[in-house]
Structure 1
Amino acid sequence: MYSNRLQLHEVRLLYVDQNSWAADISCDIRTVSLSTQPTFAALSYVWGTQTIAQTSIRIGGQLVSIGRSLDTALRYYRRASWQMPLWVDALCINQNDIAERSAQVSFMDSIYSSAAAVFAFLGSGIDLMDDDYEARVLSMEASSFRIYNHHQNQSETVSNMGLTDQTWSTAPSLSRPDQEASVLFDFLKGACSLKINDHLSKVPLWGRRLEADSPEYPWETLVATLDNFNQAAWWSRVWTIQESVVGKEPVIFFRTVAAPWGLILEAVNTLHAHVNDCCTPYLRNDAPPGYASAVLRLIRQAEQVQKTRRMYSEMHDPKNTRADGGDKGGELSSMLLEYMHVYHPRSATDRRDKVYSLLPLLKLDPKAMLIYPDYGESVEKVYIKTARTIIQHSCSLDILAIAGALPSNALPSWCPDWSIEDGYPESASQIRALQSYYTGMATTCKISFFDDDVGRMDVEGLILDSIDALGGTEFSGKDLWELLFGWMQFVQAHAPETKWLDFCRTARADVWIASNHLSFYRMGGSLRRDTNHEICWVDPATHKLRDDLPPQDITETSLGSMKTRFKEWDCIAGTQAMRTRRGGIAPNPPMEEQLRTSTAHRQFAKFSECQIGLVPEAALVGDCVAVFRGCRFPCLLRPENPLPARPRRAYRVVGSAYIHGQMDGEMQGRLGDLPWDMITLC
C-alpha cells in the first residue's frame, strides 16, 4: 500500500468508492502535493483501543485492517456521496515508518489548514464493544439522516463538503427517524434563538417532543442523549484538539445528524448566558435530574475547544507581532506549558502524543518548531526534553508546580509525567492561582542542564525553612468545616501566636476565585491596612473584639461560631478582592466551593520559622522550603541520598506551597543581601 516514503509537502489521500451503506468498503489511495492545492476533507475521529475488535476494508485491492470507529466513519462519509477525497491519519501515514510518521506529525497543521472541510465524527450511538456491532451497523441502513444548518442557512463548512439534505437523507422508503438525536439537536437549534426573556425551564415550549401530541416533554431522552454526546470519546482525546482548531470549523457528526460547529457554539454561548444569570436558581433547585450537569459539561467542553481556536487565530493574526517573527521562545513555551497542563487529562494511544499533538498549535513558522516530533525517542526522553525546552525558553520555573502534581519515579522530580490522566479536579485551579503570587520577585531563573546526567538540573535559589509539624492526615474524611476546625486546633497547639486573620487567609491560600475558575485575585493587600478591626471574633466573657485565635476551650464547643466568623471574614475579603476586577460581573463559585479548591489534597503546616501554610498531602516533616529565581511560589524539596558523582547534595521536588508571609518576596527582603546558591534538583 505504501510504495515509497512521502516527500516534503506530500500527503496521501483516500478515495472512497461509492456504494450502499451496508456494502464492504473499497478505496484507492493516491499521493499528492499540498503545493498543488488539492481539494480534500480531513477526518477527526478516535482510533479506539487495541482491545476493540478490528474490521477490514480494501485499499487498492489489498485487504487492510482498521478499527471499528474508522469503519463507521467511512460509511458515514460514503453515505453522503462526497466526491472529494479524504485524509485519514491511520491510513494516509505509514505508521510503521518512524521517519515518515514523525515528519507528517510535524506537518499536521498544514494538512488540516489546507483541507476544504474537517469531518468530526463523534460516534454513531453504537457501542464499539458490542458483539453484534456489525449487525447494528448494517441496521442503520434503514435510518434517515438529517442536517442541522446554522440560522436556517447552509453553513460554509457544510457547503464545502458538498453535503446536502438530498444526499445525506437518501434512504430506503421504510426509513425510521432517530428520535433521540432529533430531540437533542432541536434543543440545540432552539437554544441558538433563545431570547433574553426565555429560560431553560421553558424548553418544552421551544424544544422537540418525541411525539407532536405528547403531553409532556421528554426530559429523560434529552438528558440521556446529551450525556451520550458529552461522553463521546472525541471530547477526551488529545489529538482532536489540534484537529478541531487549526483548520476550518469542523462539521460534527453524531448518530444520524450532521451539524456545523457554529451551531454548537452559538447554542453554548446562549446557554452560558442563561446559566450564569437568570436560570441559576432553576438549575440548582428545580431542574430535572441530570439536566444542569449535562448542560454545564457541554458548555465547558465546547468553550475549551473554542478558546483554543481563538488563541490559535489571534496568534496567527498578521497584526500580532509573534506572527511576524516575534518571540518564538518565551511566550510560546509558556503557552505550551498551559496547553499541556489543561489537556493532559485527555488520552492518547501513544503517550508521546501528549506533547506532539499540541506542538502545531504553537507553530508560527513552517520551518521552525519548539520541539520536533521523533517517534524513535522514548516517552521519558520526550517528556524530559519538553520540560527542559519550556524552562529554558520561558526562563520560568512555574513547571515545578505541575511536576509536584504529576509525579513519576521514572522521571526527574522537576519533570511532569504528562501521561497521568487522573488526579483531582481542584488541581488545575490551585496551579492557576499560583500565578497571582510574587515570591520570586519577577526574577528570571538561572539554570544549568547536563548531557551526561539528564535527570539533573542546577537552579539558583535559597533554602529558607523546613516543615516543623503537619496537621492533615488525622482530619481526612471529615467535612469541610470539621477540617478547618481541626486545622485551627492544630495551629493553637503548634503556633498559638497566629492571628485569626492569618489563619483565615491561609485556609483560602489568600486568593479569591472568580467565575469558571479562570481568574484569581489576592485577598491580602488592603486587608492588612483597613479591615483587621472588622475581622475579629467576640469574646463571650468580655464581649470585646479580639484578633487572636479563639482559645481552645471556646472552639471545642463552638464549631458553629467559628463557621460564622469565617463566613463574615470571607464576605469582607471577597468584597476587597472584587475591587480589582474589571469587565462584567458574573456569579462566583460559592464560598464552600472555593474553600474546597484551596484545601483539596493539602495539609496544614507549621514551619521552623513559626510561619503557617498549606502544603501537598505528600509532604513530610523535615521537607525543606526553597525559593528560586524565576518561580512565583515557594517549593518543597526533599533531600536525596547523596551520590559520589554529584558535586553537591541533590533534592527532589515535592510540590508547591502556600506559606503565609512568603508569597510576595518578604523573605528575600528580610534576608537582605544573602547570596543565592545553586541547588541541584533530580
Structure 2
Amino acid sequence: MAIQPDPPSETSFEGFKYGTLDADKREIRLVTLEEGIWSDEIRCSLRTLSLHDQPAYEALSYVTENLWLAMRRLRKSTEPRVFWIDAICINQSNNDEKSSQVSFMGEIYQGSQETTLWLGEDPYTVEVGSKSAAGHRLAELFEILLSDKHMSELPCFIEDGTRTDVSEDYLQHFDDLAMFLDKPWWKRIWVIQEMVLPPKIRFVYGSEQFSYDTLRAVLEIFREHAAHCCKNFRLRLRGAGFDPLMVIEERVSPMVYVRERWRNSDEKITLLQLRRMFSASQASVSRDLFYALLGIVNSWGLATPLQPDYNISSRDAIIKAVYACMVESGGASFLQGERISEDRSPDFPSWLPDLHVRSTPSRRVWGEQQRLKIAERFSATAGLKQDTTQFSLASDGTLRLQALKVDKVIRVGDATDPLDEFDKVPDVFRQWMGMIGMGVQDWPESPPTRGSQQDSFWRTILNDSIEVEQGAGYVRPSDGDYHQLLDLWKMITATVWPLLVSMARSSVETRKSDSEPFEMMNTLLNLAPSIAYHVLVCLWGRRMIITEKGLIGLAPRTVQEGDEVHILLGSEVPFILRPGHVNVYSSEVDRYSTPVYTVIGNGYLHGVMCGEAFEGDGQNEITVIALH
C-alpha cells in the first residue's frame, strides 16, 4: 500500500489493515519499505512475526510529522528495507495492543540490527531531497571540536576581555548546531530508549549521516575541557555559542551517559534515576513521561515492575509509577520538586511534584536538578527508610507514610527570583536580614561564630553547600566561600547595582529567545564572584522562613505562616506541609486517626539537615501521616 503526506507535514496510514497480535507469542509487526527513487510514491507492506524467532530488521526513531520524509530519505533504489516503526507497526487505536507492544519495546530495539535516528530535514535545504549545507557545516564543527584542544585555542572561539564568544567565521556553524539541537527529536521522551538500547545507531540529518561514536567523542572531549582546564572560558561564553552548548550539557550528554551505563550490564538503572535525569523531555500524554523509560530499567528493588496500561487515566498511571519509584528507593526523596505550575490539573495529588505530571520548561528543570544534587549532600532522616508495613497508597491517591514533625513556620519573608527579578534581589536580602535582626552593615569581615544567627544566615543562603567542581558533588562551605559571599553581598548592595543590571539587560535585549533570562543572568553574574551561580540555584523562587524553635530556612514561595516542617523518612531534606482542614473518611488510610496534609514542597532548614532531629528520642516521635 502507498503512503502519502496528508497534509505535507503529516503522514497518513489509511489502508493499513491490522490483525490481532498474540502477546503470549510476543508477536510484532514489521514494515517492508519497497525500493524506489525520490519521486516515486512510498509503498510498503506489513507482516507479523514473533520476537522468539529473532527476525532481521532495522528500527527507526523519529518524530511523527517527519515520518514521510524519513521514509523517502532512507528508501533504497534497488532493494527493499525492513523496519520496525512504532506509528505503523502498532495499532494506535487499540489500547490493549498498545500496552503490550510498549512493554516489548526494550526487546524490540535491542533486537534490531541497527536503529536510524532521523532528526529531520535541514531547514536551509532549498529543495526537499537535495544535499544539506547545514549538515556539512555541522560535520566541520564536530571535526574542530574533536581536535582536543583548549577552547581558547579553537578557531571557532574568540576571547575579548571578560567575555568569550563565537568567532565571526563560525557564526553560521553554531546557528546550524543550534537548529540541529532544537529539532523536536531531542525533546521527545521516547527517543531516550531508542538511543540507549539498540546495538548500533546512526544519526541522519537531511542528506548527512554521522555515527554515535562521533557524537560521544565530541561530548567527552568538550565535557573534560569545560569541567576542568577550560571551566572559566566556558562560563564566560556568550552569544551564539551559549544556547547549543547548554543544550548539549543538559539534554544530549545524559543520553550518552545512560547508553554507556546500559552497555555495562552491571550498572543498576532505576526508573527514579531516569525520570530525574530526563525531566525536561516532552511527551504528548503525561503517562509516557514514565512509560517511555521502562525499557531501560533493570532494577526494581522491592517494587513490583511497572507495566504500561493505556486503559487507565494518566493521573492513575503517574501515581502508580511514582509510588513504584518510592517503594524501590525505600523513601520519599522522589517527591522533591516544585508545585507551582499554573496549568497543573487539580486532579493530581499535592504529593506529586510538577516534574512528574507534565513536561517542564528546561530553565526550571535546570534549577530543580541542581537542587537535587545539593540534596544528595544531606541526610535529614539519618539514613532511616520507610517501613513497608506503614507505607501505602489508597485507591483515591492518598499516600500514607512515616514522618517526623520537627517545627512550625511562624514568619515568612519575601520571595526572591534572581533569574527574572534582578532588581529586587537587594531589597529581598535586606528584608530577610531584618527578620533576624541583622542590618545591612552587619556582615562581619571574618566568618561568624559557629552556631550564631549570622552563621546560620549565611549558611542558609548557600544551603550550607558548595560545588567542588562541575559534576563532582557538593561539600560544606569553607571560610573562603564565606568571603566570596561577602564580596557578592557588597556588590549587590552597592549603589552601582542598578547600573550593572541595566548594562546586562542591554547586552542581551537584541537576542529575543527562551534563553534570554539565562544570557542576562550570565552577563550579570560574570561581573560577580563565582559563588553567585550557586546562590542563584539556592534562592530561585524561595522565601526565608523562621520557625517556632528559632531556626532559619528556605522554603517554596507558596509557603505560609502556620505550615509545618516534616521530615519524610527516606528523603534527604525536609518538606513543608500544610495541615488539612477537612478529613474525609477512607478505610484504606483510616483518615479519622491519621493527620492529612497538603505538600507545599521541600526546603532547607538549618540545623536539621544531617539527622539532628532523630538524635535522642527523635525516633520515638515518628508518626504516620497522609498526603493528599
State how far apart, in whole Å, the 1-side matches of 2:85 and 2:600 are: 42
Following superposition, the deviation at residue 394 of structure 1 comes to 2.1
Counterpart of 2:155, as a letter, is K
Counterpart of 1:559, as a letter, is T
Equivalent pair of 1:398/1:632 in contact (CA under 8 Å): yes
Following superposition, the deviation at residue 475 of structure 1 comes to 8.4
Partner of 2:327: 392
State how far apart, in whole Å, the 2-side matches of 1:558 and 1:308 are: 40
**Compared with structure 1, are the counterparts of its residues 472 and 81 closer, same or farther at alpha carbon in structure 2 (3 Å cutoff)?**
farther
State how far apart, in whole Å, the 2-side matches of 1:595 and 1:647 are: 43
The answer to whether 1:201 aligns with 2:136 is: no
Partner of 2:261: 311
State how far apart, in whole Å, the 2-side matches of 1:29 and 1:399 are: 42
**Compared with structure 1, are the counterparts of its residues 432 and 347 closer, same or farther at alpha carbon in structure 2 (3 Å cutoff)?**
same
State how far apart, in whole Å, the 2-side matches of 1:674 and 1:10 are: 55
Deviations 1:593-623 (A, max 9, x none): 1110011111011111111011111111110
Deviations 1:346-367 (A, max 9, x none): 11122221111111111479xx
The answer to whether 1:488 aligns with 2:433 is: yes
Following superposition, the deviation at residue 493 of structure 1 comes to 6.7
Partner of 1:174: none
**Compared with structure 1, are the counterparts of its residues 410 and 516 closer, same or farther at alpha carbon in structure 2 (3 Å cutoff)?**
farther
Deviations 1:498-557 (A, max 9, x none): 53222111000011124445622233xxx6xxx69x9699xxxxxxxxxxx9xxxxx999
Partner of 2:18: 2
Partner of 1:298: 248
Counterpart of 2:19, as a letter, is S
Counterpart of 1:427, as a letter, is E
Partner of 1:101: 98
Deviations 1:86-131 (A, max 9, x none): 110000011112111111100101100110101000110249xxxx
Given the alignment, which residue of 547, 560, 571 partners 1:607? Answer: 547
Equivalent pair of 1:487/1:604 in contact (CA under 8 Å): yes
Partner of 1:458: 400
**Compared with structure 1, are the counterparts of its residues 266 and 592 closer, same or farther at alpha carbon in structure 2 (3 Å cutoff)?**
same
Deviations 1:34-62 (A, max 9, x none): 22222211001112xxxxxxxxxxxxxxx
Q: Secondary structure at the match of 1:355?
A: helix
The answer to whether 1:421 aligns with 2:418 is: no
Counterpart of 1:454, as a letter, is D
The answer to whether 1:505 aligns with 2:459 is: yes
Partner of 2:509: none
Q: Secondary structure at the match of 1:349?
A: coil
State how far apart, in whole Å, the 2-side matches of 1:297 and 1:479 are: 29
- Please show how residues 472-551 of structure 1 align to structure 2 within 5 Å: 472-473=414-415, 477=421, 478=423, 480-492=425-437, 498-517=452-471, 519-523=473-477
Partner of 1:467: 409
Deviations 1:387-432 (A, max 9, x none): 2222223211112213757775312222335232235231111122
Partner of 1:112: 109
The answer to whether 1:179 aligns with 2:195 is: no
State how far apart, in whole Å, the 2-side matches of 1:681 and 1:284 are: 41
Q: Secondary structure at the match of 1:637?
A: strand
Following superposition, the deviation at residue 650 of structure 1 comes to 0.8
Q: Secondary structure at the match of 2:437?
A: helix
Deviations 1:469-512 (A, max 9, x none): 11123888335455434322332279x99532221110000111
Given the alignment, which residue of 119, 142, 167 partners 1:188? Answer: 142
**Compared with structure 1, are the counterparts of its residues 119 and 354 closer, same or farther at alpha carbon in structure 2 (3 Å cutoff)?**
same
State how far apart, in whole Å, the 2-side matches of 1:197 and 1:518 are: 21
Equivalent pair of 1:119/1:252 in contact (CA under 8 Å): yes
Counterpart of 1:491, as a letter, is I
State how far apart, in whole Å, the 1-side matches of 2:318 and 2:36 are: 45
State how far apart, in whole Å, the 2-side matches of 1:348 and 1:474 are: 31
State how far apart, in whole Å, the 1-side matches of 2:22 and 2:190 are: 22
**Compared with structure 1, are the counterparts of its residues 430 and 281 closer, same or farther at alpha carbon in structure 2 (3 Å cutoff)?**
closer
**Compared with structure 1, are the counterparts of its residues 236 and 451 closer, same or farther at alpha carbon in structure 2 (3 Å cutoff)?**
closer
The answer to whether 1:28 aligns with 2:45 is: yes
**Compared with structure 1, are the counterparts of its residues 187 and 311 closer, same or farther at alpha carbon in structure 2 (3 Å cutoff)?**
same
Equivalent pair of 1:341/1:402 in contact (CA under 8 Å): no
Q: Could you tell me the percent identity over the aligned residues?
A: 22
Q: Secondary structure at the match of 2:352?
A: coil
Q: Secondary structure at the match of 2:107?
A: helix
Partner of 1:545: none
State how far apart, in whole Å, the 2-side matches of 1:180 and 1:249 are: 25
State how far apart, in whole Å, the 2-side matches of 1:340 and 1:354 are: 7
Following superposition, the deviation at residue 336 of structure 1 comes to 1.2
Larger Rg over CA atoms: 1
Deviations 1:335-381 (A, max 9, x none): 3112112223211122221111111111479xx97101111011011
In the superposition, the TM-score normalised over structure 2's length comes to: 0.78
Q: Secondary structure at the match of 2:621?
A: coil
Given the alignment, which residue of 292, 317, 338 partners 1:382? Answer: 317
Q: Secondary structure at the match of 1:72?
A: helix
Following superposition, the deviation at residue 449 of structure 1 comes to 5.8
Counterpart of 1:271, as a letter, is F
Gaps in structure 1 of 5+ consecutive residues: 48-67, 128-135, 145-177, 206-215, 323-331, 538-548, 550-554, 564-588
Q: Secondary structure at the match of 1:140?
A: coil
The answer to whether 1:275 aligns with 2:221 is: no
Counterpart of 2:537, as a letter, is T
The answer to whether 1:651 aligns with 2:597 is: yes
State how far apart, in whole Å, the 2-side matches of 1:303 and 1:392 are: 28
The answer to whether 1:337 aligns with 2:262 is: no
**Compared with structure 1, are the counterparts of its residues 635 and 391 closer, same or farther at alpha carbon in structure 2 (3 Å cutoff)?**
same
The answer to whether 1:348 aligns with 2:301 is: no
Counterpart of 2:475, as a letter, is Y
Following superposition, the deviation at residue 5 of structure 1 comes to 2.2
**Compared with structure 1, are the counterparts of its residues 294 and 393 closer, same or farther at alpha carbon in structure 2 (3 Å cutoff)?**
closer
Counterpart of 2:141, as a letter, is F
State how far apart, in whole Å, the 2-side matches of 1:467 and 1:276 are: 39
Given the alignment, which residue of 236, 240, 251 partners 2:191? Answer: 240
State how far apart, in whole Å, the 2-side matches of 1:475 and 1:118 are: 43
The answer to whether 1:46 aligns with 2:63 is: yes
- What value does the CA root-mean-square deviation take over the aligned residues? 3.4
In the superposition, the TM-score normalised over structure 1's length comes to: 0.72
Equivalent pair of 1:501/1:536 in contact (CA under 8 Å): no
Counterpart of 2:244, as a letter, is A
Counterpart of 1:456, as a letter, is T
Equivalent pair of 1:445/1:630 in contact (CA under 8 Å): yes
**Compared with structure 1, are the counterparts of its residues 93 and 655 closer, same or farther at alpha carbon in structure 2 (3 Å cutoff)?**
same
The answer to whether 1:250 aligns with 2:184 is: no
**Compared with structure 1, are the counterparts of its residues 269 and 80 closer, same or farther at alpha carbon in structure 2 (3 Å cutoff)?**
farther
The answer to whether 1:84 aligns with 2:81 is: yes
Equivalent pair of 1:245/1:308 in contact (CA under 8 Å): yes
Partner of 1:627: 567
Aligned residues: 540
Partner of 2:493: 559
Partner of 2:613: 667
After TM superposition, the structure 1 stretch with the greater mean CA deviation from structure 2, 646-655 or 216-225, is 216-225
Following superposition, the deviation at residue 672 of structure 1 comes to 5.0
Deviations 1:228-271 (A, max 9, x none): 11101111000000110011242101122011111111122223
